[in-house]
Amino acid sequence: MNSSRQTTRLRLAYSAPEPDNSTIEELRRLTLAATKALPFVELRAKDQPFWPPECYWNVRPSGKKRIDHELGQAYARKAVAAMEADRNTALIGLIIQDMIHDAVANRCGRLSHVALGFLNKISQAVAVSAVPDSLNGFGNRPSLINA
């Protein structure tokens, strides 16, 4: 055989790496699974894993002030849990942005009682986490979800 035509044959061996749970967790976080499961988040038509939601605040108030306020507080607890699960620190800001857009577009600039309940609970959670234990009367600091 002509030496100029000889080719070296390479043998490639590949073994898949062991599954890395941190990579799997990071992919799950990037899909915003907890955020997309929130009852007030509207997904895009034919949603795909890495697409952001269409709207972060899609709520129809019942018109009953107390019930709507309590619903908003429950939504706030769920939003904080989703923020922690997805490690998405921007979530609350995105919700408030769409909440304001909803108020301007649908309520002459007025927030619904659901939105007010949500903001009330978020404010309480921020206050509890910001005030030192010795000043807030708590023996130990409660989590943001239970605030």
Contact 142, 128 (CB under 8 A): yes
Cα–Cα distance between 50 and 29 in angstroms, integer? 10
pLDDT at residue 76, as a whole number: 98
Kindly tell me the burial class for residue 33, based on how many C-beta atoms sit within 10 Å of its own C-beta (0-12, 13-18, 19 or more).
middle
pLDDT at residue 46, as a whole number: 92
pLDDT at residue 97, as a whole number: 97
Domains of the chain: which residue ranges? 21-136
pTM confidence score: 0.73
pLDDT at residue 121, as a whole number: 97
Cα–Cα distance between 35 and 130 in angstroms, integer? 25
Residues of the chain predicted below pLDDT 50: none
Closest of 113, 82, 108, 106 to residue 95, by C-alpha? 82
pLDDT at residue 18, as a whole number: 73
pLDDT at residue 90, as a whole number: 93
pLDDT at residue 131, as a whole number: 75
